[in-house]
Amino acid sequence: MRYLPLTPDDRAEMLGVIGAPDIDALFADVPAAARKADLFDLPLHAGELEVERELTALSALNRAAGAGPFFCGAGAYKHHVPATVDHIIQRSEFLTSYTPYQPEIAQGTLQVLFEFQTQVAALTGMDVANASMYDGSTACAEAVMMAQRVNRREKAILSGGLHPHYAATTQTIAHAEGMEIVRLAAAIDAEAAVIDAIDDETACVVVQTPNVFGVVTDVSKIAEAAHAKGALLIVVTTEAVAFGLLKTPGEMGADIAVAEGQSIGNALNYGGPYVGLFAVREKLVRSMPGRLCGETVDAEGRRGYVLTLSTREQHIRREKATSNICTNSGLCALAFTIHMTLLGGTGLSQLARINHGKARELKAAVEAAGLEVLTPRFFNEIAVRTKGSAAALVDDLLADGIVAGVPYSRLDPHAGLDDVLLLCATETTTSEDIAALKAALTQKAA
Amino acid sequence: MTMQNIGRPTRPEGAAESTGFTSLTGGRGLLQDEPLIFELGGWTKTGVDLPAASGDAADLAGLTRAGVDLPGLSEPEAVRHYVRLSQKNHAIDLALYPLGSCTMKHNPRLNEKAARLPGFADLHPLAPVATAQGALQLMDRLAHWLKTLTGMPAVALTPKAGAHGELCGLLCIKAAHEAAGQGHRRTVLVPTSAHGTNPATAAFVGYSVQEIAQTEDGRVDLADLEAKLGPDVAAIMVTNPNTCGLFERDVIEIARLTHAAGAYFYCDGANFNAIVGRVRPGDLGVDAMHINLHKTFSTPHGGGGPGAGPVVLSEALAPFAPAPWVVSGPDGLDLVEEAAADAAQAFGRMSAFQGQMGMFVRAYAYMRSHGADGLRQVAEDAVLNANYIKARLSDVMTPAFPDGPCMHEALFDDAWLDGTGITTLDFAKAMIDEGFHPMTMYFPLVVHGAMLIEPTETESKRELDRFCEALRALAATAKLGDVERFKGAPHLAPMRRLDETLAARKPKLVWKRESGGA
């Protein structure tokens, strides 16, 4: 076995040093009834070539997003990631290190986390950010529970424009913690209904912009309404590239901003691993979940970084912790940081404008094909009304080699929005892709 | 596993004098002193060549921001910046990384290559199921391996890390109790030696936590367990092998008592590495157990994630697993993304999409490479290596549980440091000067000044001997009274000890212009 360095001679010699007659003696504490003498019914070890062959064959059964015209977004986005990013995150010192609990020999990871926190705070327009969560959906659930810790109220209001998977995750996790989750009806311009739902029991309101239908909303009014009732505003963003163009959650009065950071630096990966962004107002820092990296000095007075405020965390506080999170998304955060550093603010703004331009091109094409675009103000995603079921249309167009987006019903089968199709364009979408979609849609409509 | 800061200093105590020779420019030879990106001056720079955007964003008037105030770097500058930073990290690729309970083993690069195949890496989570059959097959095969290795009938793949898996398992248990009219069960029993995530997770789902005492020989105290297993107990959470590195000899009796009391047995699978291929948790009476793919199945720790924490479930709990799951359909495999009305027991969703697919590919490649025979050897070599370290160090350090074998990690206390003025922390920091990462310290809490050493199976005898020689030399020096070597350690790392108290007292969590001086 290529990954196991001990030879039979090593093993015999080591057993001698230990004073054990055989390896079974070291498993003596296992009840006899549970000791398996035989190998399990699974294939035997395989060489690298053989394993690579099997995985390549499996991979080939999937159609990569880059294999043709492709318009899926809805929480995960196809972007171009510079080759440098993936090269650097595979350096041994980043890839094969543990959480930086020994700061003297983990300054690489720690300084990256400090840069990451600063970048996330700047992108979201907030004061501070943590060192990442698992993904956007779990960050959303954590934000809701954090609101409960801050104002001791139990009710969370979720906008009907919140990604249904985020709503379901929040419902599952925050409800289990004892919160009452009120999810408003799904609608294109769902944010309009949020203000009326806020009352004196409301811990927080969760609003997504751009929302799952692509609608960009200035949530300042919702912030005012929430704050007037003593509730927190949580702003969710699933497309981090939008931070390059749109008003930030901070500018609009968010108390907590959470986002999916996959778009910057990370591949689609069929849904994970991704990286949750979590940023708050300064005064809320000590209620925050997750790891935080902070600046300090070493014994010689030199600037360095450590994980800090760990008294909020499970390994210190145990059942009194702010969250049970331990492992998070370190390497994905690194990829985010490197990509963001390559882009810079200038590059991200430009990238965002390119995305928006592509989406306008997409909108024009869809309208020219005779479909109604439902999203009034969008970044890089639009919702479209299909004639008949959106899922059937996606199946139809797949036969033409086009992946024509995500039927909303796939995310939320009970909403009665079976004729709503979610389409996305990014810098990776070509004019030829859009032309192919337009031609196919026109043909289906004819 | 983490380093506790209970019972250890969080400020540097040793003499702060420099280690002698200093450079004129602040670096240490090839180890550069690297500023933050915010101090490198690229406020208008970008390292990505992008085409012009088509049109303006006039349709978003009033909804746009002024600009993004973040620096950029050209590609060569960015590469240098992050490569220089990388060199300040210790890594499993550099030397033995003996963090007990963390399972820092070799990360095969084949797995990295496989995860980057376009069919996996460039696959959208909501791509039509017909275009993702390979991904679903991989999830199905991974599930088969996990079920076979654990002897459990079902697995929920989506949890994103161990603690997330614990949450998933407890939510299944909670749902099962509620379905059986047992929703009044609100207590979870957790041994004193448990990982911090166990009580944190139990509290998270609204359970109250009660501790179970430990016996002299480091196991669950059966009498105490039996006394506390009342009608209010929903579950016990037991790590096995436990955090003292010992197998719970009475595990089958623990399961029997638990079930007899109407509670479920949650097993923390963080230490599955020690028994994989030899013992099936299903045969021990476990109802739910998370498996840290980033431990036992070697997906890289990445400086703190991403991980993956699939949860295997017993027959009783399987109906309560969260969405989504893979099923066989008429046109191949299908993905059930929302429980149908007739499967309303399922408790919901742990996260968006399908879980940590990138980690599934890596873990599956790892399992296939080892096979049934190799995985069994993994457990055997992991246990052999730990016992070898224990045997080689027992005459100079004090094993917490000297009698009998340990499993995959060797636990020492600090009794052997009595009278030297040197603490566990000092000793661990001195290991850095010898080129090794410290072991897990001050955990488990039940052992004074604990030092928990997990070598894993991917260490050669030569590296184990090098490690043991280094620790023996350090132990001898400690006993000779060379206190400064330890109090001031590390002397040779990229940084000396850092002031954690200062960091926490006035938290500086983001770079700011006024303080950074750009």
- Summarised one tens digit per residue, pLDDT across range B260-288 is 999 999 999 999 999 999 999 999 999 99
CA distance B420 to chain A (A): 22
In the structure encoding, which two tokens stand for residue B10, read together? 């969080």
End-to-end Cα separation, chain A, in angstroms: 61
Mutation site for B-interface testing, chosen from A17, A61, A78, A105 by largest number of B Cβ within 10 Å: A105
Contacts with A246 from chain B: Cβ below 8 Å: 60, 63-65
Architecture of the domain made up of B373-494: Alpha-Beta Complex (3.90)
CA distance B241 to chain A (A): 10
Query: By CB neighbour count within 10 A (0-12 exposed, 13-18 middle, 19+ buried), where does B59 fall?
Result: middle
Establish if A364 touches chain B: CB-CB under 8 angstroms. Answer: no
CA distance A306 to chain B (A): 7
Interface touch A43/B368, C-beta < 8 Å: yes
Interface touch A96/B63, C-beta < 8 Å: no
Contacts with A236 from chain B: Cβ below 8 Å: none
Confidence check: pLDDT of B55 > 90: no
User: Is the pTM above the cut of 0.90?
Assistant: yes
Question: Which of A:33-72 have CB within 8 Å of B?
Answer: 33-36, 39-46, 48, 50-52, 54-67, 70, 72
CB A76 within 8 A of CB B124: yes
Choose the closest CB to B303 out of A51, A67, A331.
Answer: A331
pLDDT of residue B24: 87
In the structure encoding, which two tokens stand for residue B262, read together? 């109407």
Of B194, B315, B212, B210, nearest to B264 by C-alpha is: B315
- Distance, in Å, from the CA atom of A364 to the CA atom of B512, rounded to the nearest integer, reads 43
CA distance B459 to chain A (A): 6
- Summarised one tens digit per residue, pLDDT across range B223-248 is 999 999 999 999 999 999 999 999 99
Establish if A111 touches chain B: CB-CB under 8 angstroms. Answer: yes
Domains along chain A with CATH numbers: 66-81+345-445 (3.90.1150.10), 83-339 (3.40.640.10)
pLDDT of residue B1: 46
Exposed e or buried b for every residue in B319-339, given b needs 16+ CB within 10 A? bbbbbbbbeeeeeebbbebbb
Beta pairing, strands B325-329 & B332-336: antiparallel
A–B interface: beta-carbon pairs under 8 A: 726
Contacts with B308 from chain A: Cβ below 8 Å: 272-273
Contacts with B21 from chain A: Cβ below 8 Å: none
- Residue in A with minimal Cα distance to B89: A106
CA angle A270, A272, A276 (to 5 degrees): 140
Choose the closest CB to A95 out of B81, B107, B278.
Answer: B107
Domain B111-366 part of CATH 3.40.50.2000: no
CA distance B314 to chain A (A): 16
Mutation site for B-interface testing, chosen from A319, A336, A395 by largest number of B Cβ within 10 Å: A319
- Summarised one tens digit per residue, pLDDT across range B152-176 is 999 999 999 999 999 999 999 999 9
- The ipTM estimated for the assembled molecules is 0.97
Q: Which residue has the tokens 């969703």?
A: B349
Domain borders along chain B are 111-366, 373-494
Question: Which of A:286-345 have CB within 8 Å of B?
Answer: 291-302, 304-306, 308-311, 313-321, 323-332, 334, 338, 340-345
Mean pLDDT of chain B: 93
In the structure encoding, which two tokens stand for residue A240, read together? 């981090």
Interface touch B432/A345, C-beta < 8 Å: no
What are residue A276's DSSP bridge partners? Answer: A133, A260
CA distance A403 to chain B (A): 7
- Distance, in Å, from the CA atom of B227 to the CA atom of B186, rounded to the nearest integer, reads 16
Contacts with A360 from chain B: Cβ below 8 Å: 54-55, 59
CA distance B406 to chain A (A): 7
pLDDT digit string (tens) for chain A, length 446 residues: 999 999 999 999 999 999 999 999 999 999 999 998 899 999 999 999 999 999 999 999 999 999 999 999 999 999 999 999 999 999 999 999 999 999 999 999 999 999 999 999 999 999 999 999 999 999 999 999 999 999 999 999 999 999 999 999 999 999 888 899 999 999 999 999 999 999 999 999 999 999 999 999 999 999 999 999 999 999 999 999 999 999 999 999 999 999 999 999 999 999 999 999 999 999 999 999 999 999 999 999 999 999 998 876 777 667 777 777 777 899 999 999 999 999 999 999 999 999 999 999 999 999 999 999 999 999 999 999 999 999 999 999 999 999 999 999 999 999 999 999 999 999 999 999 999 999 999 998 76
- Summarised one tens digit per residue, pLDDT across range B98-150 is 999 999 999 999 999 999 999 999 999 999 999 999 999 999 999 999 999 99
Helix (H) or strand (E) holding B472, with range, is helix B461-480
End-to-end Cα separation, chain B, in angstroms: 38
